[in-house]
Structure 1
Amino acid sequence: MPADSIWSIGELAERAGVTVKTVRFYSDRGLLPEGPRSTGGHRRYGPEALDRLRVIRSLRTLGLPVPDVRRVLGGEDGPDGALEDVVAGQLRDIGSQLAALRWREAALQLLQDCAPTERAERLLLVGAMSAPPSTAAPARFWRRWLPPRMPARVVSAVLDQAVPQPPADPTPAHVLTFARLHAFTSRSCEGGDRGQPAAHRTEDGFRPGMLYEGLSEAYALASPHLCDQRSPREGEALDCFVSAYAASRGVRDTPAFRRALSGVLAADPRIDHYWQLVAELTGPSRPTPGAAHDWLCAALDAQVGRRAA
C-alpha cells in the first residue's frame, strides 16, 4: 500500500469529519479494518477504513445501534441482505414507538380539554392502561364469560369478533372509551355462576362450540339489517339464530322451543355497557355482536308474540 494511503488515527478522523475518539471507539469494537501498526505501536488505516467509517456513520445517523451496525457489516448474506433485515426491524420498532406517542398525545389532549372537575377521575382511568392499550383485559373478560370446554378455534373466533383493537390514530374520545373498557373488563367477576347466560350453565348434552359457531353466523346475517336500520324481522338470520340454540342442545326448532327460548333470553344477564363502549370504538358501520344479538332477540320476541296472538 502506498505510503500516502496509510493514515494515522488523527488523519483518518480528519478525512471522515469525526473525532479521534469516534475512530477509536469503532476500532476497539472491531468495526474498522486496521493496517500494520507503526514502529511506535500507533494505529494505521487505509482507504477501506475510510469507506467503512462512512457506512458506519450513515447507519448510525439512521439510529441503528452498534450491534445492528455489526450485523450489517458482517452479515453472512452480504451487507444488502443484512441491511434489509435490520431496516425492517427498525421500522417495526419505530412503528411501535409512534403508536405509543399517538396514544400519549391523545391522552394528554383528553386531560387538557376536560373540565377540571373531571381531570382527576380521567387521569386514574387513563393511567391504568398502557399506551397503546393492551387488549389483554377484554380478552380475559371474554374467557371468563364464555362457557367452559369451548374448542380453542371457537374461542379465538369469538375474541376476534368481540375484542376491539386500539385505533391506529386515536382521538381523545377513543382514549377515554378504551380506558373505560379496560376498567370495566378488569373488574373481578363475582358470584358462583359469574353472571353468565342460562345457556352457559346447561350441562347435559350442551355443545357450546356449536352454539357460538351458529351465533357468529347469525350475527353476520343480521349485520346488513342493522346497517340499513331495518326493524327486527323474521328470516334467515332469525332462523340461524334459533337453530344455533336448538342444535347446541340436540333438540328440534319448534314453535314451543322458540317460545321457551324467548323467555330464557329475556332473563339472561346483559353486558350492554361493554357493547356500548365497543360501538363507540368501531362506529356505526360495524354493528357489534351485542347489537346483532339484541336485534335477533327482538325479532324472536316479535315472532312469538304474533303467533300467540
Structure 2
Amino acid sequence: MWSIGELAEHAGVTVKTVRFYSDRGLLPEAARSTGGHRRYGPRALDRLRLIRSLRTLDLPVPEVSRILDHEDPLEGALEDAIARQLSDLGTQLAALRWREAALRLLRDCGPEERADRLRLVGAVSTPPDTTALARFWRCALPARLPARLVTAILEQAVPQPPADPTPAQVLAFARLHALASDPRLTGDRCRPESRRPDGTYRPDVLYDGLGEAYALASADLRARRSPYEGDALDCFVAAHAASRGLRDTPAFRRELSGVLALTADPLVGRYWQLTAELTAPPSGPPEPTMGAAHDWLRTALDAQTAPGAH
C-alpha cells in the first residue's frame, strides 16, 4: 500500500492532484491507515495515469468519471467522449475563424466605414446563427404550405455561413442577418404568388411548380444563357396559372408580367444578392439562387409580353 505522497511521487504529480481526484471519486482509496490516512494499491497508479491522459485531452471531470465507470473505459465510452469533444472543438474553431475574418474586415476598412461595419458584425453571434433567416422565411411562406415544401425552400433560401469565411463573406452574412431582421421586410413582401390568397388559391401547386421552373432556369443560368422562351418559362407560368385555377393564355401572361412587376421588391432582391455573395466559391461562377432564377424567368416573361413582341 502507498500513501498519498508515495502515489503522487510514482505518478509524477502533486499530492494536491491526487487528493483532488480522490475527493471526486475518480481515484478510490484501497484502505485507510490506523491513523486514518489514505492508502492506495498498485492499480491506483494505472488509474491515475489514465485520468491524467483523459484530462490532457481537455475532457471535463464528469466526462472522465463516466468513462472510468465503464467496465472497459477505452471502448465505447471513450469513443463517445472523443466524438463529443471533436464536435465541440469544431464549433470553437469555426468561431475563431469567423472572429479572425471579422477582425480583418474591421482592420482593413476605412475609418468612415468602421462604425457601421462594427454595428453589423456585432449583431451576429460567433459562430454565426441562421435562426433569423429561417424565421423570416417561415413567416413569409403561406401557412398552408406542406412541411416538405417548407423544408425544401429553407434549404435553398437560408445559406449556411462558410466554415472558413473571408472578410467579404462575414460582411455579406452580417448584412443578410440585418436585412432578415428588418421590420420593413415583412412576409407579405416576399411571397411569389401573383394575387393575395383567396378561396381558389393553392400554394402547394404554386411552389411545387416554381421549384421545377427554378431548377430549369438554373441550368440556363449556369450555362450563361440569356432569358428566352422555353420550358422553364412555360413551367413558371403554368405554376401561377394552375395555383389559381386558370389557364395559361397570352392574356394571362400579360397580366402575370404586370403583377410581378408591381410586386417586385428591392429589399428581397438585395437578400438574394447578399446570398449569392455569401455562397460564391473561391473561383468559378456562383451557384444560381432561387432569386436569380426568378429574375431570369421574369425577364423572359417581360420580353415575351412586351408590346410588339412575337
1:30 aligns with 2:25: yes
Over aligned residues, Cα RMSD in angstroms?
1.9
- Unpaired runs of 5+ residues, structure 2, are none
1:230 aligns with 2:231: no
1:131 aligns with 2:126: yes
CA distance in 2, matches of 1:136, 1:124: 19
CA distance in 1, matches of 2:211, 2:224: 20
Partner of 1:293: 294
Query: What is the aligned length?
Result: 304
Matched residue of 1:199: which SS?
coil
Matched residue of 2:194: which SS?
helix
Does structure 2 conserve the Cα–Cα contact (< 8 Å) formed by 1:198 and 1:268? no
CA distance in 2, matches of 1:46, 1:99: 45
CA distance in 2, matches of 1:62, 1:108: 29
Residues 1:250 and 1:76: Cα distance change in structure 2 (over 3 Å): farther
Matched residue of 1:261: which SS?
helix
CA distance in 2, matches of 1:141, 1:170: 23
Displacement after TM superposition at 1:278 (Å): 0.6
Displacement after TM superposition at 1:36 (Å): 1.9
After the TM superposition, which segments of 4 or more aligned residues of structure 1 sit over 3 Å from their partners? 76-79, 189-198, 305-309
- Structure 1 segment 103-252 matched on structure 2, within 5 A: 103-189=98-184, 193-194=188-189, 196-197=191-192, 199=194, 201-252=196-247
1:266 aligns with 2:256: no
1:278 aligns with 2:279: no
CA distance in 1, matches of 2:78, 2:143: 48
Deviations 1:68-112 (A, max 9, x none): 000110126754110000110011111111111111111111111
Matched residue of 1:201: which SS?
coil
Displacement after TM superposition at 1:202 (Å): 2.7
Displacement after TM superposition at 1:192 (Å): 10
**AA aligned opposite 2:274:** L
**AA aligned opposite 2:140:** W
Matched residue of 1:44: which SS?
strand
Query: Which sits farther off after the overlay, 31-40 or 70-79?
Result: 70-79
Normalising to structure 2: TM-score of the pair?
A: 0.92
Query: Which sits farther off after the overlay, 224-233 or 188-197?
Result: 188-197
CA distance in 1, matches of 2:26, 2:185: 61
Normalising to structure 1: TM-score of the pair?
A: 0.93
**AA aligned opposite 2:270:** H
Deviations 1:276-300 (A, max 9, x none): 1011112233111111011111112
- Unpaired runs of 5+ residues, structure 1, are 1-5
Partner of 1:62: 57
**AA aligned opposite 1:158:** I
